[in-house]
Chain A
Amino acid sequence: KNEVEQSPQNLTAQEGEFITINCSYSVGISALHWLQQHPGGGIVSLFMLSSGKKKHGRLIATINIQEKHSSLHITASHPRDSAVYICAALQYGGNQFYFGTGTSLTVIP
């Protein structure tokens, strides 16, 4: 059983569509990160959440601590958003990160 589950695994969207990627976790956490990984590998930290909601440009991340669930939303998606998005949960009181398997997003022009 994975401590962090992401869905969907793969997602193809038309440019301009609203996109949602979901992350559920089963451990107590001190923070949840959303990471973006472009082809070629470079990792970018998009958000670090411990509660509520954060917004950066067209990206919005929310977390519900009680339900142990987080979502990453992309509004007005663009082909440059095509990447793998990874949810990473930092276990409370520990050093351990649990990673989702990633969501591969392709935005078609």
Chain B
Amino acid sequence: GAVVSQHPSRVICKSGTSVKIECRSLDFQATTMFWYRQFPKQSLMLMATSNEGSKATYEQGVEKDKFLINHASLTLSTLTVTSAHPEDSSFYICSARVPQGVGETQYFGPGTRLLVL
């Protein structure tokens, strides 16, 4: 099946620094990627939808200036957590949408655990 990778898998940073997380579709081109976050013992929550070559669409309550999303190519979307604070510590997961015509679905990346000290 299709594979989605994320890098890094874990990151620890100091408060105030910015962290970039990459999401790659390895064997297909994804015009749309999605970013989720998951707090402990809670379900995944959609943060934003990332479309290649255009601005991301953010869910209500998600700060677009805080969570910068860039989808510069059909196989790569990046999420940058700017000026990270301890409350941004979470598990961030991306998914990539398989193009229509080849069986529309999405595949999940393995996730990135962010700890802000």
Give chain A's interface residues, CB within 8 Å of chain B. Answer: 30-31, 33, 35, 40-45, 48, 50, 86, 88, 90, 95-97, 99-102
How far, in angstroms, from A40 to B34 measured CA to CA in the complex? Answer: 21
Question: 9 new A-B pairs (CB below 8 Å) besides A40-B113, A95-B49, A101-B43?
Answer: A30-B105, A41-B38, A43-B108, A50-B105, A86-B43, A96-B46, A97-B34, A97-B106, A99-B43
What interface size band does chain B fall in? Answer: 20 to 34
Residues of A within 8 A of B97 (CB): 95
Interface residues of B in 19-54 (CB under 8 A from A): 32, 34, 38, 43-44, 46, 49
Interchain Cβ contacts under 8 Å between A and B, 5 examples: A50-B103, A86-B43, A97-B34, A97-B106, A102-B43
- What total count of A-B pairs have CB within 8 Å? 52
Given contacts A95-B32, A102-B43, is CB(A30)–CB(B1) below 8 Å?
Answer: no
State the B residues within 8 Å of A (CB). 1, 9, 32, 34, 38, 43-44, 46, 49, 91, 93, 95, 97, 103-111, 113
Q: Would you call B107 and A45 a contact (CB within 8 A)?
A: yes
Q: Which residues of B contact A31 (CB under 8 A)?
A: 104-106
